Structure 1
Amino acid sequence: MFDIGFWELMLIGLVALVVVGPERLPKLAYTAGKWLGKGRSMLNAVKSEIDKEIKAEELKEILEKQKKQLNPLQDVIEETASGMRELKEEVGSSMREGEKRFGSENESYTRFGDTAEVTSKQSNDNKRSG
């Protein structure tokens, strides 16, 4: 972190010895080491938090890319679903028109949910003649 050589450390130690004195120098060195350790641990904690944030941003970008790739597939699914709904409505309206046109006297209907199976005497007659 700092570019301090051996001679610079010796000069700092000598000045500290003269200013603080030999009795309090070990306690000062202990306190300085303690604070330096706390500073390093805080610095490492900040670095790890920054790394986590960077990784989270990268994951968000990857997720956005995947969403963009899935978007055309979602469009195809929606188009297919709307086509199926239109087909369902068309079949239902055709069934209602047929029921109105031919009446229910020649046909029997069995309904299952939204679908209808039609069995009629006419279709049986067509199978026999065909």
Structure 2
Amino acid sequence: MFDLGWTELLVIGIVALIVVGPKDLPMLFRNVGKFVGKAKGMAREFSRAMNDAADESGVNDIAKGFKAAANPMSTAMDGVKEAARDMTSSLDPTKFDPKSETGKLAAERAENARKMQATTARVVADRKAKEAAEALAKAEDYEAKLTAAPSDASSETKS
């Protein structure tokens, strides 16, 4: 559409500064911004209306049909991908019979995963508690040094 580079924008800005003046320039830019925003909004609304009209008239279905006719391999692969997606969603290991070998393995793996999560959570909590204790000890040491410092300074001046 418009191909404006930085140099063109700089020239337009300088001309606008000379013609409009420095006092009215912010108001001009504000009005231009509002105009551009309204124009973008109108273009967005027009595009949405055209897409809705295409959906209602079935143009999108015809376009899909042309695409399928033009590239049948891609359409076939889309079908295969969709079938694979459906198949993987139906193969949930927690839905197996608990008495079968697969069900036993799935239950065992789920239990191991729960144990690992619990152990990890415990280790993290212990580490955070240790870090908090260290930070508290450092703060207490710092506070002790601050309270001891004025007494040291006053004893030096008295000597």
TM range (shorter): 0.3 to 0.5
> What is the TM-score of this pair, normalised by structure 2?
0.37
Higher strand share: 1
Higher helix share: 2
> What is the TM-score of this pair, normalised by structure 1?
0.45
